[in-house]
């Protein structure tokens, strides 16, 4: 009794960590991390592209010119994603009641389109050079520029993908995959220069076609991830974990349906639980509140949860099933 009284007084005088302000702070922190990633990766790719452009100016390499343009384009993909993070920080309104987190998914579509365009351009340049091969000047500098381009893109790709997965941003992961495709293109420049150095100029377009194929596989993965996000798909393991968390809450006798969806890089949940029909309305509400708090505490990136409690017994379960059938 004493513990329950102290817990009640704590809830009254000490705000719980799941109030709306704290949830907003967590979401803003995720967006801030995303913005920092975009700023740093944008700067890194711009430095890489400028360094390559200088070498293009005195080497006259068309292959390196194409790779330089790719790197500039990859740096610019940060713009729509940065706008999406900025829009996603806006508070929910009466029209957009879930907020603006879906802007990230729209940015992901733009990024997928850019990956597809990169694959098309890389394939076109490879076929054109296969039909009309040409010599490359200053092979050493061109090879060095290709290596710099590959390392710069790969570092940016790893950074974007890692943070994107940590904050749950599918768009940032897709943007990292895009950077990786441009890194492959830079590597093709290096291999092509090596082939030209040993008297095999056709090596550049052949490798270019192979890289185009690799880009298409990356495009497939990025498009599938964005498609899953748009269709409200979640990893089944997350659903299993949510069900396991709910079963540990005192007073929860059964776990009904568990629905999860991504909004931006945050999760929302709607769950049904079964409690004893002997509980009062206040007691059943307390179990639902505890289930909500436990779920938000223990499930990563979950920002909000709605918990519906049903009484056990035939009447309670049948009534809820009847309501669900009418809704369907």
- Biggest CA pair distance of the chain: 87
Backbone angles phi, psi at 212, to 5 degrees: -60, -40
Which of these, 181, 280, 277, lies nearest to 221 by C-alpha position? 181
Phi and psi angles of residue 17, each rounded to the nearest 5 degrees, phi first: -70, 0
- Say what the pLDDT of residue 29 is: 53
The model's pLDDT over 272-313, given as tens digits with 9 standing for 90+, comes to 999 999 999 999 999 999 999 999 999 988 989 999 999 987
Per-residue pLDDT, averaged over 99-108, amounts to 85
Q: Is the CA virtual torsion 180, 184, 186, 190 positive or negative? A: positive
In the block, tokens 């452009």 appear at 53
pLDDT tens digit string along 227-268?
Answer: 888 898 999 999 999 999 999 999 999 999 999 998 877 889
Give residue-wise pLDDT tens across range 13-32. 233 333 333 333 344 456 67
Place of tokens 């941003």: 169
Residues 6+ apart with CB under 8 A from 283: 251
Q: How far is CA 27 from CA 5, 91, 264, 267, in A?
A: 33, 11, 9, 10
Contact 214, 118 (CB under 8 A): no
pLDDT digits (tens, 9 = 90+) for 129-159: 778 776 667 778 888 888 888 888 888 888 8
Residue 325, pLDDT > 70, answer no
Q: The tokens of 271 are what?
A: 């769950």
The most confident of 57-61, 82-86, 320-324, by mean pLDDT = 82-86
The domain defined by 20-230 folds into Alpha-lytic protease prodomain-like (1.20.1510)
Q: Are strands 266-275 and 302-311 parallel, antiparallel or unpaired?
A: parallel
Task: Determine the Cα–Cα distance for residues 255 and 242; give it in Å rounded to an integer.
Answer: 10
CATH number assigned to the domain with residue range 234-327, chosen from the 4 options 1.10.1060.10, 3.40.50.720, 3.30.70.1350, 3.20.20.70: 3.30.70.1350
Task: Kindly report, as residue ranges, where domains of CATH 1.20.1510.10 are found in the chain.
Answer: 20-230
pLDDT for 97 beyond 60: yes
Task: Name the segment(s) of the chain with CATH classification 3.30.70.1350.
Answer: 234-327
Task: With 0.85 as the threshold, say if the pTM is over it.
Answer: no
Tokens of 67: 């790779």
Dist CA 243 CA 256 (whole Å): 9
The pLDDT assigned to 31 comes to: 64
pLDDT of residue 62: 65
């Amino acid at each position: 009794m004493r513990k329950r009284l102290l817990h009640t007084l704590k809830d009254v005088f000490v705000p719980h960590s799941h109030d709306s302000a704290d949830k907003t702070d967590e979401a803003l922190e995720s967006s801030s991390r995303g913005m920092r990633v975009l700023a740093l990766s944008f700067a890194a790719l711009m430095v890489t592209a400028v360094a390559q452009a200088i070498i293009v100016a005195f080497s006259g390499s068309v292959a390196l010119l194409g790779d330089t343009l790719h790197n500039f384009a990859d740096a610019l993909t940060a713009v729509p994603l940065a706008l999406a993070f900025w829009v996603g920080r806006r508070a929910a309104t009466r029209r957009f009641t879930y907020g603006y987190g879906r802007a990230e998914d729209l940015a992901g579509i733009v990024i997928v389109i850019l990956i597809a365009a990169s694959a098309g351009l890389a394939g076109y340049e490879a076929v054109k050079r296969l039909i009309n091969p040409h010599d490359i000047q200053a092979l050493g500098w061109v090879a060095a520029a290709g290596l710099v381009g590959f390392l710069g893109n790969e570092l940016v790709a790893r950074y974007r993908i890692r943070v994107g997965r940590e904050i749950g941003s599918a768009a940032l992961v897709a943007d990292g995959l895009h950077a990786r495709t441009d890194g492959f293109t830079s590597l093709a420049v290096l291999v092509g220069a090596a082939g030209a150095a040993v008297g095999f100029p056709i090596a550049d377009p052949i490798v270019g076609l192979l890289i185009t194929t690799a880009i298409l596989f990356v495009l497939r993965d990025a498009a599938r991830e964005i498609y899953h996000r748009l269709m409200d798909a979640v990893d089944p393991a997350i659903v299993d974990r949510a069900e396991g968390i709910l079963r540990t809450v005192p007073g929860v006798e059964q776990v009904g349906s568990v629905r999860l969806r991504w909004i931006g890089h945050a999760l929302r949940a709607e769950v049904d639980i079964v409690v004893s029909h002997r509980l009062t309305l206040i007691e059943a509400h307390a179990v639902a509140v505890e289930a909500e708090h436990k779920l938000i505490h223990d499930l990563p990136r979950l920002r909000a949860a709605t918990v519906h409690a049903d009484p056990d017994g035939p009447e309670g379960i049948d009534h809820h099933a009847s309501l669900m059938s009418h809704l369907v």
